[in-house]
Structure 1
Amino acid sequence: MTAKVLNIIKILQPVVIMVVVQISLAGVNILSKLASIDGMSSSILVAYRLLFAAASTVPLAFYMDRTIKPRPMLTWTVIGQAFLCGLLGGSLLLNMYMQSLVLTSVTFVAAMSNLLPVITFILAICFRLEKVLLTKAPGSMKIVGTILGIGGAMLMTFYKGIEIKLWSTNIQLYAHESTSTNKQDRVLGTLIALGSCLSFATWLIVQAKLSKIYPNPYSTTAMMNVMGSLQAILFALFADHDWQHWKLGWDIRLVTVSVSGMIGSGLMVALMAWCNRTKGPLFVSIFSPVCLVVVTLVGTLILGDKLYLGSVLGSIVIVLGLYAVVWAKSKEKESIQCIEEKEQGIV
């Protein structure tokens, strides 16, 4: 291959990976919703999911990282950050995410997930990791994007509007309506979904720091899943004392916890960790609309979810806010690079 072709492959590789990740996560969300409709406890589902994730990623980490020499030192700092990753990107995140999924729908939660870059930006300002120069166009656009994201979330929460009917496939995997019509549940589901986005945004920051001192994505994913599974099991035992609820049969519950564990919290998290290390947290977050498109189509066509005008308008506003923040960050990065090149006498 020529150098030009190799360069194109290198550029497209993380893009393709993140598209595959988002499509896979959309499938995991749909399976999780079906399991909750079947009556499976969300805390038990999360505990099993992380157990399957740990069982699959630990041997994968040993196999993939066996040739890495010298291996990074496993210090208390690494273990502590892995524990935080297990909490923020595992047990806490998934328990909140699943609860919001139960209270609303896969389409609604996928749309709310697009607030991730906005919440990451707000969090970075609070910890003084981001600076906003209102006199510059990128700084103003960051504020505009943040306002659009929050406004879109509020629009989805408080405005329903008319029902939008897509073409029918005459396929419905469960008989009753999955989208809650209770406004109180919808508001509570929104708040919990925002909490999950905050947890995810914090995890991206901690995981990025962890990858710098321990740059083995499979090992860090395995440690995160082991820590997260222990935390999730303790929480599930506290939340549900009935051992009958822990039984798995050859049904949708077993399919959900195995697929979501090995694929969703296993392989896909490892791929996200690699993209996060090479491209940064913002790059990982900009692909969330792919998940929204997939779950919207599947949810309305074969899951029986109802699509309302408020959800469509809110999703559009959130995505506009997302890309406003992304544009501002890219322009800001170009400006910084230009200044550095001038200081070094390159231009």
Structure 2
Amino acid sequence: MKLAKICNIIHGLKPVLLMVAVQTAFAGVNVLYKLAANDGMVLPILVAYRFLFSTAFIVPLALLMERKKRPKLTWMILLQAFCCGLFGGSLAQNFYAKALSLTSATFAAATTNLIPAITFLLAVCFGMEKLGWKTCPGVAKITGTALGVGGAMLLTFYKGVDLHLWKTNVDLLNGQHHTSNVQYSSNRVMGSLLAIGSCISYSMWLIIQTNMVKTYPCPYSVTALTSCMGAVQAVVFGLCTERHWGDWKLGWNVRLLTVAYSGMLASGLMFTFITWCVQMRGPLFVSAFTPLMLVLVALAGSLVLNESLNLGSLLGSVIVIAGLYLVLWGKSKDAKRLSKLTTSESSKDVNVVSNTIADTMTPKIASMACTSSSANVDERNELPVKSSCEKHDEPEIAEEV
């Protein structure tokens, strides 16, 4: 019994565990992005290679895993896949890369914390979520989203005193700060708009994907289609902007490691996890875990990049986790309420059907009863007639004899 309870608990926590794994993988992508940019790799080329590696990894997996249950591919699904590849792939990533060049890495990373709020507003506009101002789950979701954004902003912009909790003496950057391909500009307004556009694109991807998995409930195939579309778009954009063929060469170095990791793991397997969670819990649930990435990046930076962990990172992490807990609590209450409504509606439908069947069968049963009773009466009437005839026949036969 205890093992069964543990299995049920783990099954209920599966979406949460999957999203923690997703944000952990995305934190690794950020660390590798820093290493690749330090090596001089152009970010649009990195994005193109990322989706090429993702397509090469996830397409055979989708053909193998979902070969028997894949529904028919329609033009509408292809259009949704094109939009998913655009908003969740090439557009979001290239907007983010351009915002890095026009502003700073700190500001671009901080804007990603707007994704939960933007996703919540879009989900409300498209009828996927309800505000619920007067309900506890609704207030919890709104408050948790605000706390997540606020905690991530605090983690990004407020430093405070350094906290020397551990010392690993590991610095993968080797003290180098090579920024030859990151040109900072005074046009911060355009950079800010591009960073916000990247967040809107990511949120739109979650909304479109929610509608796509309803008609095409195959997570591997959805990720494969998204990766294919994103690869075509990113390669076309990369060829149009970066025509120096020497920048496209990959060697056995950190560039190959970055595109392989971000393509096969982050954009291949982790996008599939995101599709699962969107299908099970909706877009707001997925976006609520976005600020958790900054917490993991801060921890990873202090461990392998020799970056100091400060008071702002600690306080922001606590606030982010508190906001995430509130959002998850509100979503769980909404799920329980919907399950109760579904159960009550199904029981009502069963009662209506049973009453209808009873009303339909009652006249038939009554008619059958009348028929059987009349048949019994006829049999009862025939038996005496038969016996009386037999009695009258016996004397006649005796007289003849």
TM-score after normalising by structure 1: 0.82
Aligned mates of 2:315, 2:5 — CA distance in 1: 41
Extract unaligned runs of 5+ from structure 2: 349-401
Q: Give, in angstroms, the shift of residue 247 of structure 1.
A: 1.3
- Aligned with 1:323 (options 322, 325, 330): 325
Q: Name the residue aligned to 1:39.
A: 40
Structure 1: runs of 5 or more not aligned: none
CA distance in 2, matches of 1:204, 1:60: 22
The residue that corresponds to 2:200 in the other structure is 198
From 276, 280, 283, the counterpart of 1:281: 283
* Aligned-partner Cα distance in 1 for 2:124–2:18: 29
Name whichever of 329-338 and 185-194 sits farther off: 185-194
Relative to structure 1, the CA distance from residue 26 to residue 80 in structure 2 (aligned partners, 3 Å threshold; closer, same or farther) is same
Q: Secondary structure at the match of 2:305?
A: coil
Tell me, in whole angstroms, the C-alpha distance in 2 between the residues paired with 1:186 and 1:208.
33
Structure 1: which amino acid aligns with 2:90? S
Pairing 1:138-177 to 2, within 5 Å after superposition: 138-156=137-155, 158-174=157-173, 175-176=175-176
The verdict on how the C-alpha distance between 1:140 and 1:13 changes in structure 2, with shifts beyond 3 A counting, is: closer
Q: Which residue of 2 aligns with 1:76?
A: 75
CA distance in 1, matches of 2:63, 2:89: 21
Query: What are the Cα deviations for residues 42-72 of structure 1, in whole angstroms up to 9, with x where unaligned?
Result: 111000110111111122221222233xx31
Identify the residue that residue 29 of structure 2 maps to in structure 1.
28
Counterpart of 1:225, as a letter, is S
Looking at structure 1, the residues matched to 122 and 71 of structure 2 have their Cα atoms a distance apart, in angstroms, of 29
Query: Using a 3 Å threshold, how does the CA distance of structure 1 residues 314 and 185 change in structure 2: closer, same or farther?
Result: farther
SS in 2 for 1:203: helix
Query: Is the Cα contact below 8 Å between 2:23 and 2:289 reproduced in 1?
Result: yes
Counterpart Cα distance in 1 of 2:165 and 2:193: 28
Counterpart in the other structure of 1:117: 116
Match of 2:133 in 1: 134
**Larger RCO, structures 1/2 (Cα 8 Å, 6+ apart):** 1
Q: Which residue of 1 aligns with 2:263?
A: 261
Give the structure with higher Rg (CA): 2
In the TM superposition, residue 288 of structure 1 has moved relative to its aligned partner by 4.4
Q: How many residues align?
A: 341
Moved more, 42-51 or 17-26: 17-26
TM-score normalised to structure 2 length: 0.72
What RMSD, in angstroms, separates the aligned Cα atoms of the two structures? 3.5
Contact conserved, 1:157 with 1:187, CA < 8 A, in 2?
no
2:54 corresponds to: 53
Q: What is the match of residue 300 of structure 1?
A: 302
Kept in 2, the 8 Å contact 1:114–1:318? The answer is no
Q: Which whole-Å CA distance do the structure 2 matches of 1:93 and 1:246 have between them?
A: 21
Q: C-alpha displacement at 1:104, in angstroms?
A: 2.1
Look up the match of 1:271.
Answer: 273
Contact 1:56–1:262, Cα closer than 8 Å, also in 2: yes
Percent of aligned pairs with the same residue?
50
Q: Is the 8 A contact 2:37 2:178 kept in 1?
A: no
How far is 1:18 from its partner?
3.4
- How far apart are 1:261 and its partner, in Å? 0.8
**In 1, Cα distance between the equivalents of 2:199 and 2:111?**
8
